[in-house]
Chains A and B, each alone.
Chain A
Amino acid sequence: AQTVTQSQPEMSVQEAETVTLSCTYDTSENNYYLFWYKQPPSRQMILVIRQEAYKQQNATENRFSVNFQKAAKSFSLKISDSQLGDTAMYFCAFILLTGGTSYGKLTFGQGTILTVHP
């Protein structure tokens, strides 16, 4: 079974600064996707960024970028120029794309609460 671990229950950052959220995962498979989801206080979960495991280039979406280290099974999220609206819980997630009991199932980490201070 796949597992996803976020070791930082809470993080805080000053507005306009950069923060990095950590995520590690465990799988013996090669074909999978990794995600970062954001859950703001309003509760609706939205996708922040996605990384395909077969791609060596790190994904980037505006102020959000990832550091994907496949051999180390690490997938951290960097938020640059933090804004007050970035305050949310962030979840790292994994989905297997080949056969097996985890096929089609998204596995989430425990979440990291990020607070951006003015």
Chain B
Amino acid sequence: DGGITQSPKYLFRKEGQNVTLSCEQNLNHDAMYWYRQDPGQGLRLIYYSQIVNDFQKGDIAEGYSVSREKKESFPLTVTSAQKNPTAFYLCASTLGLISGELFFGEGSRLTVL
């Protein structure tokens, strides 16, 4: 079945460690997004990519990095520079802006110990 797969679902990290969250889609979508979800703050955009080998910072990019080497994949690295990394991370993709509809993965819960 087509969809977006995020892994791992749960991840624990010690302070000072980098961690990479995986996002893979087989929907042949051009654009992919990473959002962070915190209680009471809704979803905030970290990074997005509208085409392979290109990506733009969202509203809260500091402490995060991404790559888009393949159309299907958009991994997110949470670096040690991110001061408050404990959160729920959602990956999404869309075919294009004509529909505007985002398809979401099931999310990854990162906890910093």
Give chain A interface residues in 17-60, CB to chain B under 8 Å.
Answer: 33, 35, 37, 42-47, 50
In the complex, how many residue pairs between chain A and chain B have their CB atoms under 8 Å apart?
53
* Chain B interface SS verdict (over half): strand
Indicate with 1 or 0, residue by residue over B22-46, a CB within 8 angstroms of chain A CB atoms: 0000000001010100001111110
For A111, list chain B residues within 8 Å (CB).
Answer: 42
- Closest residue of B by beta carbon distance from A96: B97
For B40, list chain A residues within 8 Å (CB).
Answer: 9, 110
* B58 interface residue (CB < 8 Å to A): yes
For A110, list chain B residues within 8 Å (CB).
Answer: 40-42
- Closest residue of B by beta carbon distance from A33: B100
- Of A45, A47, A97, A107, which is within 8 A of B90 by CB? A45
| Chain B residues at the A interface, C-beta cutoff of 8 Å | 31, 33, 35, 40-45, 48, 50, 58, 88, 90, 92, 97, 99-102, 104-107
